[in-house]
Amino acid sequence: MATNERSTVAAGTIGGAEERDGRRLRSHDSRKRIVQAMLELVRDGDVSPGAEQVATRAKVGLRTVFRHFKDMDSLYAEMAHAIEAEFRDVLDQPFVAADWRGRVIEIIGRRSRVFERIGPFRRASEVHRHRSPFLDAGNARLISTAREILKGQLPPDVAGDAVTFEALDLLLSFESWSRLRRDQNLDPAAARAVLEGAVRKLIA
């Protein structure tokens, strides 16, 4: 093969690789925008945004949404990951209080903050969890992790008392926080005060 022919082939190979890289970058950017659009719509209070709404918010075509996500359940999987990341970021922080009662109160403060952030996502996940294995599995993992963290801060006699432990787990759950905030119309500070008062009486 002549030198100029080899140069032409090499240039074509490089050009093809650059084109493929460009397509991959554009595809990755589109996917990020679609996921971000879904999360923004849910954060704004839409518990069940459709593919058309996601496409409009992401400024992509409807076909692009379904090219990246074969169905909306795939998008809910991304939402489940977002919930879990927010929750674990708080759960994994070290405790400050020296005694177990103080650490339980710390848990209330931490969870109240994260529940406020993930509230829209949790409410959306509840709407779809019955038909989404991703959301269902993610919810089960979070509940299991939260229970283990709580149990790890309790002395054996308290952790081993089924009534006390289950009552604490209930009081520290998202469901309790959501009831106080939405149904009983308490602001975050008041809701936290109610939970702290109830827990202090329970573990006194």
Say if residues 1 and 44 touch (Cβ distance below 8 Å). no
Residue 119 pLDDT: 84
Residue 18 pLDDT: 58
Domain ranges of the chain: 1-70, 71-204
Q: What are the Cα distances from residue 143, in Å, to 70, 110, 147, 161, 172?
A: 28, 15, 6, 19, 11
Say if residues 116 and 86 touch (Cβ distance below 8 Å). no
Residue 122 pLDDT: 82
DSSP 8-class letter at 201: H
Angle at the Cα of 88 (from 75 to 191), degrees rounded to 5?
100
Q: Cα(143)–Cα(134) distance, rounded to whole angstroms?
A: 14
Residue 69 pLDDT: 75
pLDDT tens digits, the chain, 204 residues: what are they?
A: 556 655 555 555 555 665 565 666 677 788 888 888 888 888 888 877 888 998 999 999 988 888 877 766 777 777 777 777 777 777 678 889 999 999 999 999 999 998 988 888 888 778 777 777 777 887 888 899 889 999 999 999 999 999 999 999 999 999 999 999 999 999 999 999 999 999 999 998
Residue 15 pLDDT: 57
Say if residues 111 and 149 touch (Cβ distance below 8 Å). no
Q: Cα(116)–Cα(101) distance, rounded to whole angstroms?
A: 23
Q: What are the Cα distances from residue 31, in Å, to 39, 60, 181?
A: 12, 10, 34
Closest CA to 192 of 180, 175, 182: 180
> Rounded to two decimals, what is the model's pTM?
0.72
